[in-house]
């Protein structure tokens, strides 16, 4: 059945895509087919039209016949598909779909020596699995029919439903986290009732109904993906807000405890594991015009993030960029910046205390 389906696919390509589509290779197996052809890009609408055309001919249960004729009688006929480059003998076998048996007046006619069904109705449901470019100007269609098509559709639907279930669980979890920080949750997309009811493949639904179902499942899965992305953005924003609030309070306490006078000295590890805390704290020191030099660090995701800030009145004595370059060497990293503000990072989290002790020594 897949061999006859390949002939119908070739015919449908001429109808839906371009009459200039010529075969560039094919493979027929018991449970699938592959057809390569010369063409530009094929749209999703054209694929849907190809499926409709083929399945319409399957439903029509057209006769499939073959006849041997002298090659000279058909070699110049444009309506008989043949591959220039193939060598044919004096007699050739023409496989015809539709038309009157023996009269070579079918809508699909090809020179072919393969095995075929007697009527298109034996093919069963036809479904394209994939379509895409395999080389410049050459496209490939992979398709299935009959039981193989039903199995493919069922597997595709199951995969989409599984992904939707997993995404819904993730979104529910994200929304719980958003609620915990009093942030607005993301609406959970709902699968339309007709799609949720499913598609009974045992009742031989048409390909249009199958495609509508699969498209609805795909759209639902994609909506859930976007909802999860949006929830992630809101969580990140909420985390930043919490971090900013926490950093502000920590900074107030730390500035009050800063040692020394003209310049004041502040060396500390910021509590928490959000790398954004470091920039929040440095911005806070800058806005307060902290009258001295500070080195702050935060450990997040296996990385030590460190920053230095020096008031403009003291850059002759301390330079933030120089401090960071020397300190990041201790944690196996690098960094730099301007005399008044610099940042760096390194992977050796076990050396945080040693780095901060070095910072205190450099400021003494």
Of the candidates 268, 144, 255, 244, the one whose C-alpha atom is nearest the C-alpha of residue 201 is 144
Cα 77 from Cα 80, distance rounded (Å)? 6
DSSP class of 85: T
| Mean pLDDT, residues 103-111 taken together | 92
- In this structure, are residues 294 and 259 in contact, taking their beta carbons and an 8 Å threshold? no
**How would residue 362 be classed by pLDDT, with cut points 50, 70 and 90?**
very high
pLDDT in tens, 250-304: 888 888 888 888 799 999 999 887 888 888 889 989 988 999 999 999 999 899 9
pLDDT in tens, 66-98: 999 999 889 888 889 887 656 788 899 999 999
Cα 361 from Cα 265, distance rounded (Å)? 11
Give yes or no for residue 102 having a pLDDT over 90.
no
pLDDT in tens, 192-223: 888 888 888 888 888 999 999 999 999 999 99
The pLDDT value given to residue 246: 73
Cα 114 from Cα 112, distance rounded (Å)? 6
| First and final C-alpha spacing in the chain | 87
Cα 75 from Cα 71, distance rounded (Å)? 6
- What burial class does residue 361 get, using C-beta atoms within 10 Å of its C-beta: 0-12 exposed, 13-18 middle, 19+ buried? exposed
The pLDDT value given to residue 265: 92
Cα 134 from Cα 239, distance rounded (Å)? 45
CATH number of 259-363: 3.10.310.40
The pLDDT value given to residue 87: 75
Sequence-ordered strand ranges (E) for the chain: 23-28, 33-38, 64-70, 91-97, 108-111, 126-135, 138-145, 264-269, 292-300, 303-310, 334-337, 341-346
CATH number of 2-145: 3.30.980.10
The pLDDT value given to residue 113: 86
Give yes or no for residue 143 having a pLDDT over 90.
yes
Cα 329 from Cα 114, distance rounded (Å)? 72
- In this structure, are residues 282 and 311 in contact, taking their beta carbons and an 8 Å threshold? no
| Mean pLDDT, residues 153-168 taken together | 95
The pLDDT value given to residue 255: 86
Cα 2 from Cα 33, distance rounded (Å)? 6
pLDDT in tens, 215-262: 999 999 999 999 999 999 999 888 878 777 777 888 888 888 888 887
pLDDT in tens, 300-329: 989 999 999 999 999 999 999 999 999 999
Cα 138 from Cα 126, distance rounded (Å)? 22
Cis status of the peptide bond prior to 263, with omega within 30 of 0: yes
Give yes or no for residue 363 having a pLDDT over 80.
yes
What does pLDDT average to over the chain?
91
The pLDDT value given to residue 276: 81
What is the β-pairing status of strands 91-97 and 108-111? antiparallel
In this prediction, what percent of the chain has a pLDDT beyond 90?
69
What does the buried/exposed string (b/e) look like for 223-251 if buried means 16 or more CB atoms within 10 Å of the residue's CB? bbbebbeebeebbeebeeeebbebbeebb
The pLDDT value given to residue 28: 93
**pTM (global) more than 0.85:** no
């Amino acid at each position: 059945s897949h061999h006859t389906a390949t002939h119908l696919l070739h015919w449908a390509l001429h109808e839906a895509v371009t009459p200039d589509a010529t075969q560039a290779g094919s493979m027929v197996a018991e449970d699938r087919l592959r057809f390569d052809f010369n063409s530009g890009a094929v749209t999703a609408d054209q694929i849907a039209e190809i499926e409709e055309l083929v399945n319409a001919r399957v439903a029509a249960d057209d006769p499939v016949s073959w006849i041997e004729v002298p090659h000279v009688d058909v070699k110049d006929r444009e309506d008989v598909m043949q591959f220039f480059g193939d060598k044919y003998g004096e007699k050739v076998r023409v496989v015809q779909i539709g038309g009157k048996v023996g009269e070579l007046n079918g809508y699909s006619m090809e020179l072919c020596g393969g095995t075929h069904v007697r009527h298109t109705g034996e093919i069963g449901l036809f479904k394209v699995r994939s379509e895409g470019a395999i080389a410049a100007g050459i496209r490939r269609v992979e398709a299935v029919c009959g039981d193989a098509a039903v199995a493919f559709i069922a597997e595709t639907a199951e995969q989409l439903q599984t992904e939707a279930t997993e995404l819904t669980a993730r979104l529910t979890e994200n929304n719980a986290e958003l609620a915990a920080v009093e942030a607005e949750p993301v609406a959970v997309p709902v699968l339309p009732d007709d799609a949720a009811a499913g598609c009974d493949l045992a009742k031989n639904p048409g390909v249009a109904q199958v495609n509508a179902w699969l498209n609805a499942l795909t759209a639902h899965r994609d909506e859930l993906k976007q909802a999860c992305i949006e929830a992630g953005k809101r969580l990140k924003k909420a985390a930043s807000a919490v971090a900013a609030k926490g950093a502000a309070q920590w900074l107030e306490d730390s500035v009050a405890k800063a040692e020394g006078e003209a310049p004041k000295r502040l060396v500390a590890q910021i509590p928490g594991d959000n790398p954004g805390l470091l920039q929040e704290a440095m911005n806070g020191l800058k806005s307060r015009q902290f009258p001295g030099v500070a080195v702050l660090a935060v450990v997040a995701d296996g990385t030590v993030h460190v920053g230095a800030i020096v008031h403009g009145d003291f850059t002759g004595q301390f330079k933030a960029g120089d401090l960071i370059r020397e300190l990041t060497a201790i944690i196996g990293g690098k960094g730099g910046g301007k005399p008044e503000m610099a940042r760096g990072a390194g992977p050796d989290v076990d050396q945080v205390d040693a780095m901060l002790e070095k910072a205190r020594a450099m400021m003494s």
